[in-house]
Structure 1
């Protein structure tokens, strides 16, 4: 005897009834869910740095947008590796997504280094929007070992030290911890000696007298305790440092199309500005804090002194062009596009 199933007929009847009374048809649940992906995000900054909670908020947004299928864990304070190694950590999968200072490895990323030439940016938020819009067209070539997410800058930093520096000639004979490779070139051009140290190591080299001064953003002077080992500070937006968030390619490629879209939606110029803005505000507030200290001197430059600085750093653009030319790229076209983008966003010095 054959058995009958009423399920198809019952479903049809319910569907007809629903259409008669104006009910929407039920949506069938997904047959399969994306596999869970765990992302290790490495930031070499300490937890108190504003970029860490901002990154946490960003990571939580990624998890929410993926319906919980992309889970994140943040590792600050060089837990997974040294600051200098963060690009290779993303490339090699030691971490899945890392915070990178390209200038920590001189000569390796010459194209993005244009954003580190002194007197380029005066506004961090506009500068971040400009840098990201310009560089994401080039990142796939220069940072081909990783999946580029976005680029940003910190609020413009300046010189801080034990010795008062007014003009470029004052750098001669000094030992300086540069902010990045371009500032290192500048120090050498001015007759100084570079002392290489990552941000977490900077206080020690100044405290021990290994370095006489440092180029650093304002708020982070307090965060890393550098206000305790310096006295003089030039009040001018002298330079910015460029950064990226970059991802392990294999990790990104292994994601489902829906998960990739979540990452893509969080790797935008808008997110670059949103994530870095609390840091920009933090650094800018540091200047007023430094000015309020009676045992510190924050001083401006005269127009003539500023012209001397600008003239002294002019060869850095030529050196940048030579480095880019060696990669086979066209530095003139790249620089023209860069300048146009900075102008478009109103971010220039």
Structure 2
């Protein structure tokens, strides 16, 4: 063993060399790189501050609050930024990472999505039955998209009339001209209602001028356009469900790190639990507001809802018999 005297100290050169080498390796080794925060681009089919945009913003706010430094979502806007009819394709191509959009807007790509509006289950029950997994798989395959979550379940569609006429039963609707949309077609045809296609921003003027005597619209949101001021009657019971799906580009979802995916998954779990309370509270507030506005109600009885739902199942089965039949068994309580 070679030893040298250094100012009265004896130094073992082998250990000195080893120590210097270790120090060199320590400082030469790359330091751990912290994953950069990822920002996802999102759009919503209506302005984010309107009735059906607000729940999506609540979801985004939750992600941004819990995902600081890890994952954020930036809402680029509503239909003024990306037209609602193009948002599903924008998710498919990766132009958008996320879109909040009803299945009616991508029905040409995935008719099975519309089956969800006929369900009598919560989103949690749809997950437990396997329905949600089936819808997600179809979205994966056809739209390069992941079904993150859904809101609107439990919010029914209604018919609204602007004249306080004597309407006591479905047959009294015969001959009326109502503003419609595709998912009303079957029930309008059943009761000989004339469906008039009018863009939502133009409906107020059409109602005011008597071009139409009413409209089909969900329970929530008639105040967004001021229609409540011209509405005299709401037909009960409501039928179908509002369904707004939060879709994410599959490639964008797959490349998230475990920590980033956890932010999304945790936000989904929070959102689905919180939405139950939010929906109940907002529904009560809406009913109270419509009553205060002087909107009367006429109840056609449970058969009206039953007929509406069955007619739409029948229409969907014509378009995709096997898949819709299977989804019906998974989306309806036994």
1:1-349 pair list within 5 angstroms: 5=19, 31-49=32-50, 52-106=53-107, 108-117=109-118, 121=120, 127-131=122-126, 133=128, 134-144=130-140, 145=143, 146-154=145-153, 155-163=155-163, 164=165, 165-178=167-180, 181-197=182-198, 199=200, 202-207=203-208, 209-268=210-269, 271-275=271-275, 277-294=277-294, 296-301=295-300, 303=301, 306-307=302-303, 310-311=306-307, 314-325=310-321, 329-340=322-333
Q: Deviations over 1:258-305 (max 9, x none)?
A: 32333233344x5334247435522332112211234x322333x4xx
Conserved? CA contact 2:150–2:246, under 8 Å: yes
Runs of 4+ in 1 over 6 A off after TM superposition: 6-9
Partners of 1:200 and 1:246 lie apart in 2 by 26
Partners of 2:265 and 2:31 lie apart in 1 by 23
The 3 A distance-change label for structure 1 pair 313 and 167 is farther
> What is the aligned length?
307
The 3 A distance-change label for structure 1 pair 116 and 46 is same
Q: Deviations over 1:207-240 (max 9, x none)?
A: 4544332222334112221112322112323332
Give 5+ residue unaligned stretches, structure 2: 1-12, 24-29
Conserved? CA contact 2:236–2:297, under 8 Å: yes
TM-score norm. by structure 2 comes to 0.76
Conserved? CA contact 2:56–2:100, under 8 Å: no
Partners of 2:292 and 2:312 lie apart in 1 by 34
Partner SS for 2:306: helix
Q: 1:243: how far off? A: 1.7
Give 5+ residue unaligned stretches, structure 1: 10-28, 344-349
Partners of 1:203 and 1:132 lie apart in 2 by 39
The 3 A distance-change label for structure 1 pair 201 and 131 is farther
Partner SS for 1:151: strand
Conserved? CA contact 1:177–1:213, under 8 Å: yes
The 3 A distance-change label for structure 1 pair 55 and 250 is same
TM-score norm. by structure 1 comes to 0.73
